[in-house]
Structure 1
Amino acid sequence: MSAHGTAEHDAAERREAARALLRHPVLTKARHGEEFALVRRHAPALRKMFPAVLGYPLVVESSFARLVKDAPSADAPPRPAQRRGGQPFAPRTYAYLALVCAALLQTGGREQVLLGTLVEQVRADAAVAGIVVDDSLTDRRHLVQAIALLLDRGVLSETDGSVSAWGDRQEEALLDVNRTLLTHVLARPLGDVAGPEELVARGERAGAEQPRRALRRRLVENPLVRREDLSAEEQHVLSRERADLGRTLAEHFGLTLEVRQEGALAYDVDGELTDIAFPGQGTVAHVALLLVNALVDDLDGGPGVLAEIDGRTVPGLLAPWAAVSDAVDLLVEQYGNTFAEAFANDPRHLQEEVVARLEDVGLARRAPAGLVLHPACARYQPEPNRVPRRTAPAGARDVGVAGAPDAAPPETQPSLFPLQEDR
């Protein structure tokens, strides 16, 4: 292989390693063997790149790699910790997670711990902290869910017995503890942080000081970057340094930058860097797509339409709540026999889940008067106005977007929606 070919091969490997870390901020040798090997191979370059490009420190040890992300921007969708079934953690589960981590740090440096001993320490620490816990099945399930997250992250591993058996029947289990990784579960020490607001504010201050890096981070982490949410400095970078910005995202993460009058996105043609696919599978995803199409068709929402959110006038189409409910009811009437039973029998529950999904992917925001749809919703109409294109990346759909573009000509503007990364 020539020197040029070797350099290209190395660059491709570094890009794949970076993408693996965006998908899994905690990579372990046991659970992600090939991806972890790539990260180890290119660790020196990745340790320099992530802080410079996104402001994220990278820790690479013999058995794991930890990409330490900062607090998300205020406009980013929430990404809660999730149970294995996909449901978000409840506040009580978070409390147990904190107690379990604290208890593990107090087990005398041992590399193994009995689950019963760990639970006793959790309950003792809870009593000291004034947290009321009990031995009910509900509380045991919260505790098991917290421990399961540490199992999935590689902090703990089951040597004998299982955590789920303890939750159901309180059977004993022996756990191995990766103490080095345990110290990196949190992004930063919390001893000098007064509360969550201060933690988020620190990230925002860092972004204000580095607008280029803050914009790159938004594009990598957020499903849609709205122009009205950017600072003046970030808007300047987006307008004046677009070519450099696009090259950086493509070179390091394999993302393609698309800029429109209403905002910007960085998308992944391969569809790998996402935690919420849209369009997607399941009742909520299908109804969300149908609802967007119905509202855009029924309401007067041509290019340049504006709406008001929190006292700001922003690009978007206001769908009154009555219109949203009517559209959901009609969809249930037409297609309800294909929906999950819980949604077919409760249209208001379905509406709540659908609105949350549209907010999570950046296509909509709630307002007192209704649901404000972003102009990007137009790309999901079944028969959009198509624009000529000479070339398009593999997998890209040739679909126009509402609103006049202020970036490159339409033939260089692929119309895929952005993708979100796992936190």
Structure 2
Amino acid sequence: MTTAAHDADERRMAARALLANPVLTAYRHAEEFALVRRHASALKPAFGRLLGYALVVESGFARLIKAPLPAQAPVRPARRSSGSEFTPRTYTYLALVCAGLLARDVGEQVLLSRLVEQIRADAATARITIDDTLAERRDLVAAIDLLLAWGVLTETDGTVTAWGERREEALLTVTRGLLPHLVFRPLHPLDRPDLLWVADPDEPEQPRRTLRRKLVENPLVHRGDLSDAERDVLRRERTELTRVLDESFGLTLEVRAEGALAYDDDAQLTDVVFPGTGTVRQAALLLIDALIEALQPSPGTEVTLDGRTLPGVLAPWHVVDDELAKLAQVHAGVWRTDVLDHPLQLRDEAADLLKAVGLCTVTGEGLVVHPAAARYRPAVRLAPPATRANRRLDDDAQQFQTPLFTDGTDEGGEPT
């Protein structure tokens, strides 16, 4: 490999690391951070030009500051270590912890008990009521755990978990320089909260950049969620777009009549694993096949939802429940009993997962199954007659289809 090719490969690896973990620290991500720092001079303008993202690289951390995604994008909430989503109360504690760490008398290290005192004082000043209950302590611990995962905090002596359970003291080391870069833009003196969701209110968005951003960040981009200018870029500049996504981020672009997908063959960039192991992921995967089999949608099927026309077929909730019940009966011996005993919980978790990866839209009437869901349907492969020559062949009777949308047409409607 030539020096130029080696550098390009390292830059792509560094860019992928930042997309997967927008906060990299020398302590928690030594190898990735070293790559980012080595190629910072090239990565900063590249992220700005291609995606409109700002990259901050300091001696101990790198922070990729992403622009807000549009309202149609899947929600990506902060999560506890258990996988459950942050509640509004947990987000409140997260803000209070960050504010407490930025207090003038907090240095590079702080006792957890001292930080809690600061949090209580800040909460009182802001007229926020906090209690010393177990539930409140768990919310506080979840907020601090997130900062530990990001590398903002490090447990130097003792653990946050031990404090939450037994009030044992813990000493935390603070990466203070990273704290001001956690939010997209300063919250003060911002007097219009709605501007927090605008990429840059003073600079008009470029359709090439917004299209790249949607493809890089979203599991699936529906054509109806693209602006006219973005659809024009997708149609006219598909070859160049394919090249840029591959060379810059190692993503493969797939375009069909209903939308587009930039997927990662190595499955390293996604924050939502699908397909995968576990009851909910298996149930969601099998539910796709069951719904398509039950509804038999034809190419070009559309659903009108809140004035928007979406490609796909509506699966009413009673159909979803019936198919999930059948699947639960078949797989009762291996699926988790806690969700089997609560079918509505299983339905909601499976629907949320399919929504997160863009394969379904959740409505009051049921699930709108997007045509791209067909790419995950299992295709039966008949085994050849057993002979000595083929007995060593893989005997798995199922394989996933290649990543094609259901009608097999490109964005112009021509067969692929």
Q: Larger RCO: Structure 1 or Structure 2 (Cα < 8 Å, ≥ 6 residues apart)?
A: 1
- Residue type at the aligned position of 1:406: D
Change (3 A) 1:173 1:56: same
**Offset at residue 196 of structure 1 (A):** 4.9
Tell me the amino acid that sits aligned with residue 168 of structure 1: E
Deviation at 1:164, TM superposition (A): 1.3
CA contact (8 A) 2:257 2:412 kept: no
The match for 1:62 is 59
Residue 336 of structure 1 deviates from its aligned partner by: 2.1
Question: Do residues 113 (structure 1) and 110 (structure 2) align?
Answer: yes
- Name the CA distance, whole Å, in 1 between partners of 2:134 and 2:403: 51
Instruction: Look up the equivalent residue of 2:69 and give its one-letter code.
Output: P
Corresponding position: 1:22 with 2:26? no
SS of the equivalent of 1:307 reads strand
Deviations 1:226-281 (A, max 9, x none): 00011111110011111111111011000011100000010111111111122111
Counting only pairs closer than 5 Å after superposition, residues 259-408 of structure 1 correspond to structure 2 as 259-383=255-379, 397-398=401-402, 400-407=404-411
Name the counterpart of 1:85: 82
Alignment RMSD: 2.2
Letter of the 2:321 partner, please give it.
Answer: S
* 1:183–1:58 Cα change, 3 Å: same
Partner residue, 2:44: 47
Q: CA deviation at 1:402?
A: 1.3
Secondary structure in structure 2 of the residue aligned to 1:209: coil
User: Is residue 54–residue 65 contact of structure 2 (8 Å, CA) maintained in 1?
Assistant: yes
Structure 2 letter corresponding to 1:212: R
1:7 to 4, 9, 16: 4
Secondary structure of the residue aligned to 1:371 is: strand
The reply to whether residue 95 of structure 1 matches residue 92 of structure 2 is yes
**Structure 1 counterpart of 2:242, one-letter code:** G
Name the residue aligned to 2:222: 226
Task: Report if aligned partners of 2:295, 2:315 keep a CA contact under 8 Å in 1.
Answer: yes
Structure-to-structure mapping, 1:408-419, within 5 angstroms: none
* Aligned-pair CA distance for 1:94: 0.7
SS of the residue corresponding to residue 338 of structure 1 reads coil
Residues 399 and 73 of structure 1, relative CA distance in 2, 3 Å threshold: closer
Does 2:180 correspond to 1:183? yes
Following TM superposition, by how much is the alpha carbon of 1:15 offset from its aligned partner in structure 2, in angstroms?
0.2
Number of residue equivalences: 399
Q: How far did residue 369 of structure 1 move?
A: 2.8
Q: 1:268-296: CA deviations, max 9, x gaps?
A: 11111111122111111111111110110
1:257 aligns with 2:261: no
Report the 3-state secondary structure (helix = DSSP H, G, I; strand = E; otherwise coil) of the residue aligned with 2:32.
helix
**1:203-214 correspondence to structure 2 within 5 Å:** 203=199, 209-214=205-210
* Paired residue secondary structure (2:333): helix
**TM-score w.r.t. length of structure 1:** 0.90
Partner AA of 2:124 in structure 1: A
CA distance in 1, matches of 2:247, 2:18: 15
Distance 1:62 1:256 in 2: 33
> What are the superposed Cα offsets for residues 33-60 of structure 1, whole Å, 9 maximum, x if unpaired?
1111111110100011001000000000
Match of 1:162 in 2: 159
Identify unmatched segments of 5+ residues in structure 2. Answer: 382-398
Task: Answer whether contact 1:291 1:328 (CA < 8 A) is retained.
Answer: yes
CA distance in structure 2 between the aligned counterparts of 1:244 and 1:384, rounded to whole angstroms: 36
What is the DSSP-based 3-state SS (H/G/I as helix, E as strand, rest coil) of the residue aligned with 1:183?
helix
Amino acid at match of 1:45: A
Alpha-carbon displacement from aligned partner over 1:325-362 (angstroms, at most 9, x marks no partner)? 11111112222222111111111111111111110110
The letter of the residue matching 1:64 is F
Does structure 1 retain, via aligned residues, the 8 Å contact 2:377–2:400? no
Q: CA deviation at 1:146?
A: 1.0
Label 1:159 to 1:362 Cα distance change in 2 as closer, same or farther (>3 A). same
TM-score of the superposition, structure 2-length normalised?
Answer: 0.91
How many percent identity over aligned positions?
55
CA contact (8 A) 1:384 1:399 kept: no
The equivalent residue for 1:128 is: 125
Any gaps of 5 or more consecutive residues in structure 1? Answer: 386-394, 414-423
